[in-house]
C-alpha cells in the first residue's frame, strides 16, 4: 500500500503522478456530539457534508482517513485490509491478495497501435458547463425494491442490474427533460477492465483499471423502443470491451494524451448537458460489509452530489437498489413521476 503514503502531483509535462516520498497518510481524529440519527437522511447535501470532518489540505495528500475514502478497487483493497486488522488485531486473516504494483501490466505499446474505433468509444470528452443562474440543482435518492428490480430485469430479457437500471434511468431522464426526439443522447459509464484483459490483471493490482465508455442513441430510440432494447444497447457497449486488442489500443491512446487529459481534468467542473448522463455503479462494490469491529455500515451513500446529470447506483436492502440522481429541480420532479409510472407498469405485467 506504499503509494498511499505519498503525494499526488504532476510531472513536468502536466501528467498526474504519485510521488512515493513516504510523507505518510493523514489520520484525522474528530470528536462530535452528533448521534447516528443525525445521519438518518440519506440524501446528499451540503448540510450532510458538514457533519463530517473538514476537507484536508493540501489536496496532494493521497490518503486522509475520516472512516471514508475515495471509491476505487484499490481503495477497497486497502480499506478491507485495514478493517481486518482493526477488527481482529495482528492475528487478522486478511482475505485480500497482496498489492501488485507492476505498472508494466498496463504499459502502452511501443510503437502505439490506435484503432480507429478507439477514440469515439473511449475518448469522447464529457462536456461540462455551469448551470444557469435561474436553474436550481437538486439531488434525490430513489429506491427500487427487490420485487421492482426483479420485474425490471425480467422485462429487460434477464440482463444485469446495471444494464436494466441504466436503461430505466436513461429513458426517464430523456422523457423528463422533454428532449427533441431526433436529438442524439449519450450515457457514459466507467467499466472495470481488470478481468477483461488477456491475461487478466492480478486480483491485487493496485492502480486504476477503469475506462469510460459511451452508449449513444437517438432520443426516440430511448423513449419509444422497448426497455429491453435500451438495456441491450448498454450491454452491447460493455461487451465490446471483451477485446484485448481494443483495450490495449485505448491504453496506447491514453498514454499519448495523458498530459493533456491531466490538465483538463484539473479544470473540469460543472454539469452535463441535458442530452447526457453519467452512470456510476457502486452496486457490486465491496463496501457494504466492511467491518472495523463496530458491525456493517448502516448506510453507504455520497455525502454530497454537485454535478447535474450524474447518477449513482447503490445496493439496497431486500435485494433492491437505490438510484442517486442530480438534475435541475423542476426536471427531477418530472423524473420521479415518470420513474414511478414505468416501475408500476413493469410490475403490473408480471
Catalytic site positions: 77, 291
Distance between CA atoms of residues 35 and 283, nearest Å: 27
Q: Which residues contact 243 (CB under 8 A, 6 or more apart)?
A: none
Whole-number Cα distances in Å, 177 to 174, 255, 276, 342:
5, 37, 11, 16
Per-residue cell: 228 = 429491453
Name the nearest CA neighbour of 139 among 307, 298, 334.
Answer: 307
Q: Which residues contact 265 (CB under 8 A, 6 or more apart)?
A: 16
Q: In the chain, what are the helix, strand and coil shares in percent, each to the nearest 5?
A: 35, 20, 45
| Burial state string for 162-180 with b = 16 or more CB within 10 A and e = fewer than 16 | bbbbbbbbbbbbbbbbebe
Distance between CA atoms of residues 44 and 301, nearest Å: 8
Distance between CA atoms of residues 140 and 45, nearest Å: 10
Helix axes 227-239, 161-176, angle to 10 degrees: 120
Cβ atoms 272, 310 nearer than 8 A: yes
Distance between CA atoms of residues 91 and 96, nearest Å: 14
- The conformation of residue 67, written as its DSSP 8-state character, comes to S
Amino acid at each position: 500500500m506504499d503509494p498511499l503514503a505519498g503525494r499526488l502531483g504532476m510531472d513536468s509535462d502536466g501528467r498526474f503522478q504519485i510521488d512515493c516520498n513516504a510523507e505518510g497518510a493523514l489520520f484525522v481524529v474528530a470528536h462530535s456530539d452528533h448521534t447516528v440519527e443525525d445521519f438518518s437522511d440519506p440524501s446528499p447535501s451540503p448540510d450532510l457534508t458538514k457533519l463530517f470532518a473538514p476537507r484536508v489540505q493540501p489536496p496532494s495528500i493521497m490518503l486522509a482517513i475520516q472512516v471514508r475514502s475515495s471509491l476505487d478497487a484499490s481503495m477497497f483493497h486497502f480499506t478491507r485490509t485495514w478493517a481486518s486488522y482493526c477488527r481482529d488485531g495482528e492475528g487478522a486473516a486478511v482475505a485480500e491478495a497482496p498489492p501488485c504494483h507492476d505498472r508494466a501490466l498496463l504499459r502502452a505499446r511501443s510503437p502505439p497501435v490506435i484503432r480507429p474505433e478507439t477514440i469515439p468509444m473511449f475518448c469522447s470528452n464529457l462536456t461540462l458547463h455551469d448551470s444557469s443562474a435561474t436553474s436550481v440543482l437538486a439531488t434525490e435518492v430513489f429506491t427500487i425494491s427487490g420485487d421492482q428490480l426483479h420485474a425490471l430485469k425480467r422485462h429487460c430479457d434477464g440482463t444485469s442490474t446495471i444494464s436494466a437500471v441504466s436503461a430505466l434511468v436513461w429513458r426517464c431522464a430523456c422523457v423528463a427533460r422533454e428532449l427533441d426526439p431526433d436529438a442524439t443522447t449519450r450515457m457514459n459509464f466507467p467499466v472495470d477492465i481488470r478481468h477483461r484483459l488477456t491475461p487478466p490483471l492480478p486480483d491485487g493490482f493496485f492502480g486504476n483499471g477503469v475506462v469510460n465508455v459511451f452508449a449513444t442513441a437517438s432520443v426516440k430510440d430511448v423513449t419509444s423502443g422497448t426497455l429491453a432494447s435500451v438495456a441491450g444497447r448498454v450491454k452491447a457497449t460493455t461487451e465490446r470491451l471483451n477485446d484485448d486488442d481494443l483495450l490495449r489500443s485505448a491504453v496506447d491512446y491514453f498514454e499519448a494524451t495523458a498530459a493533456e487529459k491531466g490538465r483538463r481534468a484539473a479544470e473540469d467542473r460543472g454539469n452535463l448537458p441535458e442530452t447526457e448522463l453519467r452512470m456510476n455503479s457502486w452496486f457490486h462494490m465491496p463496501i457494504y460489509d466492511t467491518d472495523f469491529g463496530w458491525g456493517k455500515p448502516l448506510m453507504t451513500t455520497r455525502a454530497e452530489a454537485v454535478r447535474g446529470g450524474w447518477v449513482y447506483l447503490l445496493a439496497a436492502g431486500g435485494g433492491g437498489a437505490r438510484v442517486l440522481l442530480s438534475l435541475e429541480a423542476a426536471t427531477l420532479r418530472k423524473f420521479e413521476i415518470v420513474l414511478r409510472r414505468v416501475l408500476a407498469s413493469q410490475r403490473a405485467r408480471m
